[in-house]
């Protein structure tokens, strides 16, 4: 080997040693996410539980005209990279949440819902993220993703 080849090899080894721990950290990264599944519909005016009134108000401000909101499930899940975390939906399908990265306390997640485009969302300081998750008994399922309270 020439001196130049050794220099290139040394640089490549240094890069591999530098990236090695970073890659391991990225693969070990995980975040807890509160996942609420809400059925929003125009059947009646019930809001169950009452905490969903905030969601109803937020939707009205955005001109989404649902009149009824019902919590179907509420769980806290751990989402890690690279393997997706499955969330069962009441319509018989599963949503998948995958951690893409963490930066400055903000998690970037890929949300995959069957028969819909996958979407990337940032979960951090702004509060809840709402994501449509399909149809169910005359309404729409909405995933509400929130970092759990400390």
Contact 111, 118 (CB under 8 A): yes
Q: Mean pLDDT of successive 10-residue segments in the chain (150 residues)? A: 30 31 51 96 96 93 91 95 93 95 90 91 85 93 83
The helix/strand/coil state of 1 is: coil
Peptide bond connecting 141 to the previous residue in cis, omega within 30 degrees of 0: no
At residue 27, the pLDDT reads: 54
CA distance 28 to 120: 20
pTM over 0.85: no
Ranges of beta strands (E only) in 6-114 are: 30-41, 47-48, 68-80, 85-88, 94-103, 106-112
CA distance 92 to 112: 15
Contact 133, 141 (CB under 8 A): yes
At residue 121, the pLDDT reads: 92
């Amino acid at each position: 080997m020439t001196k130049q080849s050794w220099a290139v090899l040394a640089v490549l080894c240094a890069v591999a040693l530098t990236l090695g721990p970073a890659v391991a950290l990225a693969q070990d990264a995980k975040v807890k996410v509160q996942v609420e599944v809400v059925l929003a519909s125009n059947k009646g005016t019930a809001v169950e539980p009452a905490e969903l009134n905030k969601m109803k108000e937020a939707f009205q401000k955005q001109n989404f005209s649902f009149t009824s909101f019902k919590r179907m499930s509420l769980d806290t899940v751990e989402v890690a990279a690279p393997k997706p975390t499955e969330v069962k939906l009441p319509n018989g399908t599963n949503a998948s949440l995958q951690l893409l990265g963490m930066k400055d306390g903000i998690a970037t997640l890929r949300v995959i819902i069957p028969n819909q485009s996958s979407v990337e969302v940032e979960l951090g300081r702004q509060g809840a993220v709402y994501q449509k998750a399909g149809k169910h008994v005359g309404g729409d399922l909405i995933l509400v993703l929130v970092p759990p309270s400390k």
